Structure 1
Amino acid sequence: MALSGKQVRYLRSLVHHANPSVFVGKADITDGVRKQVEDALEAHELIKCGVQDGSELTAREAAEALAEQLEADVVQVIGHRFSLYRKSHKKDIKHIELP
């Protein structure tokens, strides 16, 4: 799902003060990292991730790879941090209402 500019701005405002919930380390994107991101997206829909200094991937590369593998949207990439969004299939959480 491609996000509009208005939706991206809204999601960026929501995730601005969040702390990274998943980190990509020197082993880059492993099955464990992929599973953590998958679980976090299902639970929260919008997450912030970080790329540690030992990783060979840039934040942009990690964000695009994870977004492609998990069918998510890249909301923002700044420095060593990136944000991903994917609508959750869970019914028992509060879903983000996009404008």
Structure 2
Amino acid sequence: MVDIQQRLRPGVLLREAVEDMRHTGLDLLKTSLAKARDNPGPLLGIGALVAAYLSKDFLAGTAPHNRDGATDHAPPPDAAQPAIAKAKPKAKPKTKKAKPAKSKGSSDD
């Protein structure tokens, strides 16, 4: 009876659970490594996909242009321009000035 009480203590149960998970994890790792050694193709493919994903921003700079000459990504902002452009004031529409009417008695003729 004392033996059962010792085994049912929370600390003992937790320690046994952690130890079982550690052994299961090690067994899984060993099995995975053995399979990767036997057939490395899928592992190399996954590695290539991860590398391409992590370097996508670098690779986008060398992407070919579309038919219209534009790239698939936005160009980097110009360093000379501020990050937030100020709105330009709208230009007032030009109005034609009315010419003064000639008087009938004018001697310009």
TM-score strictly above 0.5: no
Question: Larger % of helix: which?
Answer: 2
What is the TM-score with the length of structure 1 in the denominator? 0.21
Higher RCO (CA < 8 A, seq sep 6+): 1
Larger Rg: 2
What is the TM-score with the length of structure 2 in the denominator? 0.19
Question: Larger % of strand: which?
Answer: 1
